[in-house]
Structure 1
Amino acid sequence: MKNKNLEDILKRYKAGRATPEEQALLESWIMFGNMPAHDLSETELGADVMIAAKGLPVVKQGKIRKIWWTAAAAILLCFSASYLYEMTFHNNQSISEYANDIKPGGNDAALILADGRKISLNEAQDGEIASESGVSIKKTANGELIYTIGTNGNKNASNDEVFNTILVPTAGQYQIRLPDGTKVWLNSKSSLRFPVQFSAHERKVELVGEGYFEVMHQKSKPFKVKSGEQTVEVLGTHFNIMAYGNELSGKVTLLEGSVKVENKSNVKVLVPGQQAEYVSGQLSVSKVDVADAVAWKNGYFRFNESLRSIMTKISRWYDIEVVYEDAPDDALVFEGEISRARNISSVLKLMQSTGNVHFKVEGRRVTVSR
């Protein structure tokens, strides 16, 4: 490859203007150390690699110290200027080698109305799809469900609360705006049960799975989220709850404001940057990087965890079955970031490039081996 062509691809990649083919080619070079020779200086190379290799995973095992994505670390992880060599297209290992590639999930959900009717939000037309207790329910073109109280909404409401439930399947996600203006993003395999109109004294919803909340402030009416055996209470704040039934723990991560997390035997009050973790009836609080908790809501996988934990998240988003040939080493921690809009091959290649794990895709089954 011509030196000028390589420089041009790097520049377009950094500017976000690379074609899908150029992006895949460059990422493959980075993953497998097959960068063509060129005449960029080592300083220039370091700057380019730091940006291009941002998504490359770092592997930690046992008590090995954490490695950060600096220019120097990227060069050490990917390649060194003194070891660059010419590559031809016939020996380039492309992402397309996965014959059974699997596309990512997307906006998908079903709405269960109070009378039991089920509306597929994928099939429903944009605009008003239902009306209950004086509340209009509308679907937008960008995958959001909006509840709006009409002029006579409160007058039409009965003393008994009327509940709706939104169900998000595997490989799905959806956004909803509740009657009070609170916004909720739901991740794959999640559900939210909520009243069409909140009571006069509190706003209470029930979550299964994972959701990110931006709660509209109402001083006289606290907002409560029940998830499993814990309840999160707020007035107005931004937080994420992860409470899947098949996970060993549940987590509440606070980005803004203040929340109270409570179960039968514990009460914890969080400040921004803290996470409450619920394990076997006990609550513990720690300081975390909140970006990890909300990466899914922003369209990314951001990993800093074990292989088993990562594959659980991947299985929900791509609707796959994961089979392990060998028992996963939970002491092995992968770090990395990649868009959730990419096909599964891109995610698996990123992890496989560490040399610590291998994958085989057959239909919707992914076999994991060492």
Structure 2
Amino acid sequence: MDNFKDNETDIQHLIISSLEGTASEEELLVLQKWLEESEQHFLLFHAYRQDWIQAGCVQRYQTEEAWKKVEHRLFHRMSVKHLFLWTRIAGYAALVVLMIAVGYVFMRRDQDKDQAYVVEGNIEPGGKKAILVLGSDEKVVLGDEAEETLLAGNTTVKKEGNTLVYGEKHAKETAGEYNRLITPRGGEYAVVLADGTKVWLNAESELHYPVHFPEHEREVHLKGEAYFSVSKQAGKPFVVCVGDSRITVLGTEFNVRNYQDEVVATTLVKGAVRIHDAGRECDLTPGQQAVIEADGIRVREVDTDLYTAWKDGYFIYREKTLEDIMKELSRWYDFTYDCQSEELRQMTLTAKLRKFDRVEDIFDILKRTGRLDFAIQGKNVTVVAK
């Protein structure tokens, strides 16, 4: 890597020759070797290859123009929250552009092969949509509308952007009253509860919660997946009920996944939580995940970003089976799928995907493995081996 950094001019010329399809086989092998050196290189390649394509960067770019464009896109479009992913490569802008160029060349060389998959349909990424069910069973459809005020029983709920915000007003009148926030397949939404706790609800999920919390405890019920940022209130624990399990906290940030036919998984980002299930319990510290299984609660150390990135617009997979990836993608993009063999279902992949990209772009990234292809017909996707 140091040689690359020290020979920036050579790299720029290699980028252009790669974009024009004139790079030699030896040069492409060098690029391929770099991509295979680490998972970080692999993730960078996939994250920014699409940026290059969408920017319309094609063969006739001058060296300086291309260099400045991609360097600017790299360091000025990242959110502060994600800068940690890139701090170690701030001095390696050349490598990033190089990586993008290789992706473009590989895409061009595989273009004829990629045309093999069928696209007959319009599968769109999910969006901000949900249904609010009031205590009277009245249903309110939520979408991307501007700010507005809703009446939930005896209390007023503000809709600020794509977030519902409850207040503590009219506490006595709303005692014992519950609302439900339901996200469909292809939807997500956020809500700030009466105590100030914020909950991000993932696709195909449901949160059941009181309009006003009683004096001594705060309890909600979850189906599906949600990320919680719990407002700290001494002596008034916050409890998330998932099936027969209870997660108790005072003030913390954590993710809970409780989809049908999946084990309950709690991933702790900040603070501390206690898991209760069938007479068993365990405490988590930040960076740990608890999985509730038939024979007990299994605790392990994890990279929390793998389990919380969905909240920030990404899907990140590290050695994840294709079956698990397709489950999540189908829930977000609202399609059905079929893998044509067990070998395909158990294939493991590593990738970072932008969840608001077109599904065709997502599949194109997954196809970079060279071992699978996708046929799209309407809302149905078939995964086949190459």
TM-score for both structures, normalised by structure 2:
0.73
1:288 has 2:307 as partner: no
* 1:120-131 map, 5 Å: 120-122=141-143, 126-131=147-152
Question: Helix, strand or coil: the match of 1:164?
Answer: strand
Q: Equivalents in 2 of 1:297, 1:215: separation in Å?
A: 15
Which residue number corresponds to residue 65 of structure 1? none
* 1:178-327 map, 5 Å: 178-247=193-262, 249-280=263-294, 282-304=296-318, 305-327=320-342
Which residue number corresponds to residue 56 of structure 1? none
Contact 1:95–1:349 (Cα < 8 Å) also in 2: no
> How far off is 1:5 after superposition?
3.7
Which amino acid is 1:174 matched to? Y
Q: Equivalents in 1 of 2:173, 2:328: separation in Å?
A: 42
Which residue number corresponds to residue 359 of structure 2? 344
Which amino acid is 1:312 matched to? K
1:356 has 2:376 as partner: no
Q: Equivalents in 2 of 1:296, 1:335: separation in Å?
A: 16
Structure 1 window deviating more from structure 2 (2-11 vs 223-232): it is 2-11
> How far off is 1:94 after superposition?
8.2
Which residue number corresponds to residue 69 of structure 2? 12
1:156 has 2:170 as partner: no
Q: Equivalents in 1 of 2:285, 2:178: separation in Å?
A: 31
Which amino acid is 2:142 matched to? L
Which amino acid is 1:349 matched to? D
Contact 1:174–1:185 (Cα < 8 Å) also in 2: yes
> How far off is 1:220 after superposition?
1.2
Work out the percentage of aligned pairs sharing the same amino acid. Answer: 30
Which residue number corresponds to residue 66 of structure 1? none
Q: Which of the residues 122, 127, 135 maps onto 1:114?
A: 135
Question: Helix, strand or coil: the match of 1:342?
Answer: coil
Q: Equivalents in 1 of 2:116, 2:66: separation in Å?
A: 18
* RMSD, aligned CA: 3.1
1:147 has 2:166 as partner: yes
Q: Equivalents in 1 of 2:61, 2:152: separation in Å?
A: 61
Which amino acid is 2:97 matched to? D
Contact 2:136–2:153 (Cα < 8 Å) also in 1: no
The verdict on how the C-alpha distance between 1:182 and 1:116 changes in structure 2, with shifts beyond 3 A counting, is same
Which residue number corresponds to residue 136 of structure 1? 156
Over residues 331-353 of structure 1, what are the superposed CA-to-partner deviations in whole Å (9 max), with x where a residue is unaligned? 53111102111010111111111
Q: Which of the residues 324, 348, 358 maps onto 1:333?
A: 348
The verdict on how the C-alpha distance between 1:100 and 1:164 changes in structure 2, with shifts beyond 3 A counting, is same
Higher relative contact order (CA 8 A, sep 6+): 1
TM-score for both structures, normalised by structure 1:
0.76
The verdict on how the C-alpha distance between 1:131 and 1:255 changes in structure 2, with shifts beyond 3 A counting, is same
Question: Helix, strand or coil: the match of 2:311?
Answer: coil
Contact 1:308–1:328 (Cα < 8 Å) also in 2: no
1:49 has 2:49 as partner: no
> How far off is 1:156 after superposition?
2.8
The verdict on how the C-alpha distance between 1:88 and 1:204 changes in structure 2, with shifts beyond 3 A counting, is closer
Q: Equivalents in 1 of 2:279, 2:345: separation in Å?
A: 30
Contact 1:136–1:149 (Cα < 8 Å) also in 2: no
The verdict on how the C-alpha distance between 1:360 and 1:182 changes in structure 2, with shifts beyond 3 A counting, is same
Question: Helix, strand or coil: the match of 1:312?
Answer: helix
